[in-house]
């Protein structure tokens, strides 16, 4: 359903949280031509009603600006969404293995079953990862690839045969094929020190045909719409080549079938030829080129391979190569000269300091002068380096990676360091632009409510409290990061992120009131009515009649046909989809702490956090 440029979509009797400080709340809004034309009380807005207006009574439901993920990999994720079995939010390993067994029976040769990110063993009631034996038992004949964060992947015997890994296969640079005493691969791939072995192995799996990739991308966008997401910034990604791998989303944009607004960054794919890539691309496309639905956003998050400090908190912090500065300077200098915004993946403060040395050097010769640039992630950034980011006019895009890896971080660096990782509240105090995001789909969940829960509760998905009162955000502030805050990162802060006259008409009507429900219930929030540019792109419950028709999932055997996206409780009143409450109580009490049982990685790879805990409850 979409209004014409002259007619109105009028929403009344809602609780609008506008993120507009001049008018923070309202009860109604009128939309025309894809923009809000009036926001206020129901009586005033209804004066706009004409014979062809569409009026929807929201029945007192909470309305927020459409959520904007400032760092996600939608383009790559969309090409593969219909191939992937999601364990996001699944409450037990037993449930996850049952899902795996069922999907293996449905998946035809030569396709794989792929569980690719968005989960952690700490979310499971069993508090451990699956073993290779369990995966082989669940799928004896169908190849299975299970990705766990940045650190490892599990392949069953059929997948090892499919990729051709044998006792004679050498370990690739930066990775390890774990072997048994006879030298045969066990099925465990370990990232040392980065995830290249994991992603390169995943890339060996069969791709969907083009028609199914189009369907897959549309299904992924609809899943995001169901969760209230209306805009994203795509941060590029490994094995995401421009322009070839952008053809599907470009086609959907030209056909008017995007239901999520996408600003995309270009991510270099060629180690040693990074500058050449950007020199070519700056001749092909300009920042802002496109429209409000699909537009170019600059460079990154990979600028040069030598500057990538991928986080794997099971391993020590990687030391960047000594030639990083020279390589990064050449690329950044070119981008600033071309007035290209850029973003850079950076986890550790030590790396960020060296990168800032480069940026400051370039700025002395060629001033940034308002050019939007940003760090992604910045988990351990120091106050001094936040000051340097602010001085150069940069921003910081933060994601909820700690919600999935917090337990590992504590094990390596301790409680005190975890309390400030990342220091979001301090960034805001220092008036640095901050945007919220997920870094989905290969590590963290794409569910924005998992990220918002983490911001306001300070807890991991497994129930471990990371932050004290000084490290968490109010619900209003967290929501602003995910709306107006994220708009800065695509240079669109003047056109979206708030419900106010003149801004793009993107909003979500929520299944419950984000501002008053218990913290644990935030994880179960959804949108019951999502509007993008005045068009209803998702509708559920009492609004179902206003929504678009469903799109059949292709291929028929896709996991999406049996597990439609993020895990949802089976019925009303069921436990929240992430079972471990975080209210200062023990996140592990009553579960086995034996490190070898938690994972099929050798116990020696885990440090003293679990052993030191024993069976004592903890809160910090």
Confidence of residue 6 (pLDDT cuts 50, 70, 90): low
pLDDT tens figures, 413-472:
999 999 999 999 999 999 999 999 999 998 899 999 999 999 999 999 999 999 999 999
Range 84-101 average pLDDT: 96
pLDDT tens figures, 499-530:
999 999 999 999 999 999 999 999 999 999 99
Confidence of residue 7 (pLDDT cuts 50, 70, 90): confident
> So what's the pLDDT on residue 579?
52
**Contact of 526 with 540, CB cutoff 8 Å:** yes
Range 227-232 average pLDDT: 98
Decide if 35 is inside a domain: yes
Other C-beta atoms within 10 Å of 97: how many? 18
pLDDT for residue 584 is more than 70? no
Other C-beta atoms within 10 Å of 326: how many? 12
**CATH number of the structural domain spanning residue 30:** 2.30.40.10
> So what's the pLDDT on residue 563?
85
Positive or negative torsion for Cα 232, 238, 243, 249: negative
| Percentage of the chain modeled with pLDDT above 70 | 91
Q: What is the DSSP string of 469-495?
A: GGG---HHHHHHIIIIIHHGGGT-TTT
Confidence of residue 310 (pLDDT cuts 50, 70, 90): confident
Confidence of residue 59 (pLDDT cuts 50, 70, 90): very high
Decide if 181 is inside a domain: no
Positive or negative torsion for Cα 172, 176, 182, 186: negative
> So what's the pLDDT on residue 2?
52
Between residues 158 and 174, which one has the greater pLDDT? 158
| Distance separating the N- and C-terminal Cα atoms of the chain | 49
pLDDT for residue 339 is more than 90? yes
* Domain carrying residue 30: 9-66+507-546
Q: How are beta strands 35-40 and 28-32 bridged, if at all?
A: antiparallel
> So what's the pLDDT on residue 214?
98
**Contact of 84 with 116, CB cutoff 8 Å:** yes
Token readout for 474 is 């109010």
Token readout for 4 is 């014409």
| Percentage of the chain modeled with pLDDT above 90 | 85
d(CA 576, CA 469): 23
Q: What is the DSSP string of 138-169?
A: H-SSS-EEEEETTTEEEE-HHHHHHHT--TTP
Task: Flag whether the pTM goes above 0.95.
Answer: no
To the nearest 10°, report the CA torsion of 53, 58, 63, 66.
-50
d(CA 55, CA 63): 15
Max alpha carbon distance in the chain (Å)? 79
d(CA 355, CA 348): 11
> So what's the pLDDT on residue 173?
86
Decide if 52 is inside a domain: yes
Confidence of residue 580 (pLDDT cuts 50, 70, 90): low
**Of 304-313, 550-559, 600-609, which range is least confident?**
600-609
pLDDT for residue 312 is more than 90? no
pLDDT for residue 350 is more than 90? yes
Decide if 55 is inside a domain: yes
The number of domains in the chain is 1
Decide if 28 is inside a domain: yes
Decide if 620 is inside a domain: no
- Mean pLDDT estimate for the chain: 91
Decide if 518 is inside a domain: yes
Q: Name residues whose C-beta falls within 8 Å of residue 488's C-beta, 6 or more positions apart in sequence.
A: 372, 395, 433, 435
Token readout for 151 is 């650190």
pLDDT tens figures, 313-332:
888 898 999 999 999 999 99
Q: How are beta strands 144-148 and 261-266 bridged, if at all?
A: unpaired
pLDDT tens figures, 27-43:
999 999 999 999 999 99
Q: CA dist 239 to 60, 208, 427, 445, 538, Å?
A: 46, 15, 32, 20, 31
Decide if 16 is inside a domain: yes
d(CA 384, CA 449): 31
Range 72-81 average pLDDT: 97
> So what's the pLDDT on residue 546?
97
């Amino acid at each position: 359903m979409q209004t014409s440029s002259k007619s109105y979509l009028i929403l009344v009797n809602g609780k609008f949280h506008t993120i507009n400080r001049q008018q923070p709340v309202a009860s109604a809004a009128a939309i025309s031509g894809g923009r809000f034309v009036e926001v206020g009380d129901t009586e005033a807005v209804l004066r706009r009603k004409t014979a062809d207006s569409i009026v929807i009574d929201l029945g007192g439901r909470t309305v927020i600006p459409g959520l904007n993920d400032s760092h996600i990999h939608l383009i790559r994720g969309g090409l593969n969404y219909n191939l992937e079995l999601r364990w996001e939010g699944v409450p037990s390993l037993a449930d996850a293995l049952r899902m795996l067994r069922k999907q293996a029976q449905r998946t035809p040769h030569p396709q794989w079953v792929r569980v690719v990110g968005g989960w952690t063993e700490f979310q499971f009631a069993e508090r451990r990862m699956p073993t290779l034996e369990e995966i082989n038992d669940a799928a004896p004949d169908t190849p299975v690839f299970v990705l766990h964060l940045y650190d490892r992947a599990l392949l069953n015997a059929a997948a090892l045969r499919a990729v051709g890994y044998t006792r004679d296969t050498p370990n690739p640079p930066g990775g390890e094929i774990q072997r048994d005493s006879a030298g045969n691969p066990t099925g465990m791939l370990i990232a040392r020190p980065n995830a290249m072995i994991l992603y390169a192995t995943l890339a060996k799996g069969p791709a969907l045909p083009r028609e199914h990739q189009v369907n897959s991308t549309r299904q992924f966008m609809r899943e995001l719409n169901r969760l209230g997401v209306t805009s994203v910034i795509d941060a590029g990604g490994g094995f995401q080549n421009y322009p070839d791998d952008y053809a599907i989303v470009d086609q959907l944009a030209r056909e008017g079938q995007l239901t999520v607004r996408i600003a995309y960054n270009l991510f270099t794919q060629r180690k040693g030829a990074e500058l050449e890539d950007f020199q070519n691309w700056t001749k092909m496309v300009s920042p802002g080129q496109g429209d409000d639905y699909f537009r170019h956003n600059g460079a990154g998050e990979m600028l040069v391979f030598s500057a990538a400090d991928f986080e794997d908190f099971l391993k020590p912090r990687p030391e960047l190569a000594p030639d990083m500065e020279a390589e990064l300077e050449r690329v950044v200098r070119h981008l600033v000269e071309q007035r290209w915004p850029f973003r850079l993946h950076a986890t550790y403060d030590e790396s960020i300091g060296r990168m800032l040395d480069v940026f400051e050097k370039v700025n002395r010769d060629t001033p940034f002068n308002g050019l939007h640039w940003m760090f992604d992630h910045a988990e351990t950034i120091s106050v001094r380096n936040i000051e340097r980011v602010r001085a150069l006019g940069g921003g910081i895009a933060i994601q909820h990676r700690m919600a999935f890896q917090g337990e590992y971080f504590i094990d390596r660096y301790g409680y005190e360091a975890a309390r400030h990782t990342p220091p979001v509240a301090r960034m805001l105090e220092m008036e640095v632009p901050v945007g919220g995001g997920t870094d989905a789909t290969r590590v963290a969940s794409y569910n924005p409510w998992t990220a918002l829960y983490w911001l306001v509760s300070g807890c991991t998905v497994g129930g471990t409290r990371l932050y004290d009162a000084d490290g968490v955000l109010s619900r209003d502030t967290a929501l602003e990061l995910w709306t107006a805050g994220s708009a800065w990162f695509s240079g669109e802060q003047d056109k979206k992120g708030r419900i106010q006259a003149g801004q793009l008409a993107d909003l979500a009507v929520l299944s419950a009131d984000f501002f008053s429900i218990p913290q644990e219930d935030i994880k179960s929030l959804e949108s019951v009515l999502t509007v993008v540019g005045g068009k209803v792109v998702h509708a559920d419950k009492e609004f179902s009649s206003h929504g678009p028709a469903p799109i059949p999932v292709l291929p028929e055997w896709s996991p999406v046909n049996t597990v439609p996206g993020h895990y949802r409780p089976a019925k009303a009143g069921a436990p929240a989809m992430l079972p471990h409450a975080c209210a200062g109580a023990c996140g592990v009490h009553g579960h086995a702490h034996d490190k070898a049982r938690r994972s099929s990685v050798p116990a020696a790879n885990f440090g003293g956090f679990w052993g030191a805990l024993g069976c004592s409850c903890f809160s910090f």
